[in-house]
Amino acid sequence: MPQLIFLPHHELCPEGKVVEVEPGVTVLDAALAEGIEIEHACEKSCACTTCHVIVREGFDSMEESDELEDDMLDKAWGLEPDSRLSCQAVVADEDLVIEIPKYTLNQVSENH
């Protein structure tokens, strides 16, 4: 089974975390199942950028993003070439190293 290696994030997983997942699960669902509370203001409908992550290793093993995801990513804080919306990034058969950005842009919440 592939491993998701979450790099340390000051609030969500200060120690970082390594989890094994079945192929076919999204990065967001895997994170939430392990108590890593990645924000997802649009309830996983690909309508915001709050679940933005950067896939540092294993990016090419996943299916490519579609046009809707690309359009949303254009609005993400700290966008990088290996950025994905974790609600849309489906784990394939390779390990992934995932960085959760320090900030998110949430137009619904006033906490950020």
In the predicted structure, residue 31 carries a pLDDT above the cut 70: yes
Assigned token pair, 43: 């309830």
Assigned token pair, 51: 């679940």
Task: Give the per-residue pLDDT at 106.
Answer: 65
What whole-number distance in Å separates Cα of residue 27 and Cα of residue 96?
9
Tokens 């390594």 belong to 18
In the predicted structure, residue 112 carries a pLDDT above the cut 50: no
Would you place residue 103 in the very low, low, confident or very high pLDDT band (cuts 50, 70, 90)? confident
* H/E stretch holding 69: helix 67-73
Query: In b/e form, how buried is each residue of 16-52, taking b as 16+ CB within 10 angstroms?
Result: ebebebeeebbbbbbbbeeebebbbbbebebebbbbb
Would you place residue 36 in the very low, low, confident or very high pLDDT band (cuts 50, 70, 90)? very high
Kindly list the structural domains of the chain, giving each domain's residue range(s) and its CATH number in brackets, ordered by start. Answer: 3-96 (3.10.20.30)
Write down the pTM of the prediction: 0.92
